[in-house]
Structures are given as structure tokens and as C-alpha cells.
Structure 1
Amino acid sequence: MTSKWRAASLTSYYAAPIPASNINQFCCGNPEIDVFLHQSADAPRIANIFLLQDHSELLGFFTLQNDSLELSRKFRSSHSLKNLGINTYPAIVINFFAVAKQHQNTHIGFEMMVKLFELALAQKFKLGSYTIICVESLKSTRAYYEQFGYSAISRPHSRDTVMLAITLDEVANIMQPWQNN
């Protein structure tokens, strides 16, 4: 599948300041996410932030952190994770994943998730090994993540959120058609 957004660039900001001109106008419709981007995203050691831009327009962004998560036996079994005698697995956590309001429902989020998957597969052994990618999803966005193969790893954390995950093996299977092109 090709997209007009495939040419948009994904820029990472690990320790460098994020260009304010790109973020000041960004609005995804979720005040908590907008405030994070405007005020805290470039704070040292908060998270690695990735901006998807088309020229100077910020289309969306996501942040990643390393973590470890306890996975239930049911999740490990249903996702073909080998029984290694451990319950806690290394993970990459998506802290924020947002598309500018004017670009929502235009496949930007799809392109961002594809880029995130590409990055996760490419960096698997460079940044330390990890087994899963997870996100604490709002219940209102759960179906969005599930369309990519994410599934619940535990009971909901609150009335509003649920922790979802996908294994890197599942990501590799999803990405196989794009990697062969």
C-alpha cells in the first residue's frame, strides 16, 4: 500500500530541543497530549519523541520509552511467547501517539504506526533487547490499536484506560509485505 504521506519525514529528538515552530500550533483534540507536547516533550530524559512532518507542518507524533511489563500466562500463551520462567518482559512503551486534528482519519496514524513498527524492528538489538510494544490506551482508542494486532495484557488500569501490547514477532509478520518491496 502506498500513501501520499509515505514521503513525510519522521524526525527523532532524543536530547535536542524540539523546534517550537512545529509544536506551538499542534492540536490533536486531547488537552493532556497537547499540553505534554507544548510544555514537556523536550524535557531531558522524559521520552524519545518522534515527529512526523510534511515540510514544516507537524502531522503527528509519538513518544517511546523502555520499560518492563508483567505478562499474564494467558497473554504469553496466546501470543506464542516461550516460557522462559519469567513473568516480566522487556518492552517499548508508547507514551503518547497523536495525530493533528485536521489530519485525523486520513491514514496519518496508520503511517505513523508503520514507521513505529519499522523503527522497533530496526532498533531491536541496538537499544537493548525488547519483546513487546505496549500502550496504555484510552478505551475510546482501543479499537484503533487492536486493528494493528494489539491486545489487552491485563485488566483495565482504570475506568478509562487499558494496557495493550503486541509482540515483536507479530510486528515482523505484519511488516513482512512492506519489507519485501
Structure 2
Amino acid sequence: MDRAAFCCGEPELDAFFRDHALDHHVGHKARVTVGLYDGELVGFYWLIAQSFPLNKVSAEAEQQFAHLGATPCVYLGMLGTQQGRQGNGIGKTLMLHAMRQTLSIAERLGVYALTLEAINERRARQYEQWGFAYCVEGALDMYIALPTMRKAGLTPLA
């Protein structure tokens, strides 16, 4: 897999994937998942465990996890699709995989939501269409609670 050739058009994401993704994955700093199509790299995302401040997710989370002082979440750090493949549903497929991976993680430990920070307002609107809600009005931090994923018919990965 040629990580050096990956380009999604967002310099920060491209640099991470080319220069740091392997080290993060091997060092268990993040779990990096790649998307392949006919052996060609078409996209990636990474996940980590996260403790989110109680008052930054939802009133439900604040009530449910008050005893912990934080909301346990899975954080989607980055998601990128190869520039020539954008607009073909690859990003959405990767997002659905990340959601299903989050549901799988929730089978083994306490998790309230999948969280992310949208790279810009346009992406935030797209994530909102996919069921994400804003953590704080006016910010790009977003979350999708597990019940919302399940209600959409998503199931854990096998």
C-alpha cells in the first residue's frame, strides 16, 4: 500500500496518513483502518478511546455518567477519501464502518457515543445529515449516541 501517494485534498489529513498513521497504529496510539478497492487505497479513518467532559455532549450523557465525571466515547480522529474517489460514497462507507466498529467496542466496554471534530462547516452539515449532533452550539465538535446508530439499523461488526 502506497501511503505516500494518498491525497484527500486536506493537507493535515494527508500528512498524518503519510507520515504518522503507521506509527500510531503500531504503537497503539490509535487504530487506523484503511479502505481498499481492487487493492487500491481509497480512504482511511482512525479511532481512539476518549473521556469527554460531561457538559459537552448531552444532558442524557451528563445524567448517565455523572458518577464518572466524564462521558466515555470513541473519538473518530480523521476520515479521508482519496481525492479521485470522492463523491462515490467511500467516505460514507468508512463512516458507517467506524460507527459499526464503535458499536462493537460498546459490546466490550462502556461507551456513550462516537465523537469527532468536523474539519469545516461543510463537513459538519454532512455529518449532521448522518445523525450527528453538535456538542456545543457554534463549535465543530459533534457526537452520535449509540441509540441513534442502532435506531438507524446499524449493528456491531462481527
| 1:73–1:93 CA distance, 2 compared to 1 (3 A) | closer
Stretches of structure 1 that go unaligned for 5 or more consecutive residues are 1-20
Within a 5 Å distance, the mapping from 1:20-169 to structure 2 comes to: 21-43=1-23, 44-72=27-55, 75-77=58-60, 81=61, 83-84=63-64, 86=66, 88-126=70-108, 128-138=109-119, 139-156=121-138, 162-169=140-147
Q: CA deviation at 1:39?
A: 0.4
Mapped partners of 2:98, 2:111: distance in 1: 14
Mapped partners of 2:41, 2:65: distance in 1: 44
Mapped partners of 1:116, 1:73: distance in 2: 21
Q: Which amino acid aligns with 1:147?
A: Q
Mapped partners of 2:79, 2:5: distance in 1: 17
- SS at 1:175's partner residue? coil
**Structure 1: which 4+ aligned runs deviate by more than 6 Å?**
none
Q: CA deviation at 1:67?
A: 0.6
- SS at 2:29's partner residue? coil
Mapped partners of 1:135, 1:169: distance in 2: 17
Tell me the TM-score normalized by structure 2: 0.84
Select between 58-67 and 132-141 the one with higher mean Cα deviation. 132-141
Stretches of structure 2 that go unaligned for 5 or more consecutive residues are none
- SS at 1:144's partner residue? helix
Counterpart position of 1:16: none
Mapped partners of 1:168, 1:143: distance in 2: 20
Q: Which amino acid aligns with 2:92?
A: F
> Which has the higher Rg, Structure 1 or Structure 2?
1
| Cα deviation digits, residues 14-72 of structure 1 (max 9, x gap) | xxxxxxx3312110000110000000111123311000101321111100000111243
Q: Is the 8 A contact 2:45 2:78 kept in 1?
A: yes
- SS at 2:99's partner residue? helix
Tell me the TM-score normalized by structure 1: 0.74
Q: Is the 8 A contact 1:117 1:175 kept in 2?
A: no
State the identity as a percent.
20
